[in-house]
Amino acid sequence: MKSCGSMLGLWGQRLPAAGVLLLLPFLPLLLLAVPAPHRASYKPVIVVHGLFDSSYSFRHLLEYINETHPGTVVTVLDLFDGRESLRPLWEQVQGFREAVVPIMAKAPQGVHLICYSQGGLVCRALLSVMDDHNVDSFISLSSPQMGQYGDTDYLKWLFPTSMRSNLYRICYSPWGQEFSICNYWHDPHHDDLYLNASSFLALINGERDHPNATVWRKNFLRVGHLVLIGGPDDGVITPWQSSFFGFYDANETVLEMEEQLVYLRDSFGLKTLLARGAIVRCPMAGISHTAWHSNRTLYETCIEPWLS
């Protein structure tokens, strides 16, 4: 079938100039008959909220995605909202896993994960335990990936009589591990207790031997890109470098990711990901913890480029 342009050329050869002029008013209609170029579809986006959050917190993020990538299917998983987010993290991982499996099954081209705060740890565990996940970009939005060690309003509400210096007495007990925040409480002054008692973070970090370590590492390495976002004015994640896999040593000096044992040993794949250029670090100052998912500049700089 000849294109509209070539047809006009043929008519121009057969008709006198006056005849061509008579056709000009109909040119817009002829152009409408030309198929519009196919717009590339975007991969579905799955959003996982943080501690005490709900899907409503992400209304601005949804607006940004719809504006910049119209037609994108975005699912903000409405599970473990509010106080339910204090449930043990492995319980949450199972619930979120059941929710993401059918979404991934309908997206053979892959999906993107945007996971905020505590949700970033849930997502990292999902990537570890799912043998057949198809996550292209895992966007970790101000998440305590190497743990939390700081006095925050959340802690004061949950454990009003405890400070960070003695919270290990609660968190590193069987009772304490029933609270999500204790699953990633990381006291640098009691490392042995952390390694022995942590039922979640020490396992997904590969800091403690377990029979699934090799498989989990292999699964995690299926991810296309790991995008790490955080900043010095967060006010909740402590140290804020935990969002980039940095953390305190025993003297509370922050060691960056490349100085951490989990990186040097490549215990769950960080070193491998960095070597293949799959880790993106996007630090940004001036953003408080509750504003990460509503800041337009942050979205355009650190999130939107990875939503293919």
> Looking at 117, 142, 243, 267, which residue is catalytic?
117
- Give pLDDT, residue 166: 86
Q: What is the pLDDT of residues 280-290, one digit of tens each?
A: 999 999 999 99
**Residue 118: pLDDT over 80:** yes
Residue 289: active-site member: yes
Q: Out of 27-31, 53-57, 249-253, pick the least confident.
A: 27-31
Residue 249: active-site member: no
- Give pLDDT, residue 56: 86
**Residue 38: pLDDT over 60:** no
Residue 117: active-site member: yes
- Give pLDDT, residue 2: 42
**CB 239 within 8 Å of CB 160:** no
> Looking at 49, 112, 186, 289, which residue is catalytic?
289
> Looking at 133, 187, 225, 234, which residue is catalytic?
234
Set out the domains of the chain in order of their start, with CATH numbers: 45-150+200-306 (3.40.50.1820)
**pTM for this predicted structure:** 0.85
Residue 228: pLDDT band with limits 50, 70, 90 = very high
299-305, long-range: CB < 8 A, 24+ apart: 299/61, 299/64, 300/64, 300/68, 302/139, 302/227, 302/229, 303/61, 303/64, 303/114, 303/139, 303/141, 303/227, 303/229, 304/64, 304/65, 304/68, 304/69
- Give pLDDT, residue 1: 45
Q: Which burial class, exposed, middle or buried, applies to 21 when counting CB atoms under 10 A from its CB (0-12, 13-18, 19+)?
A: exposed
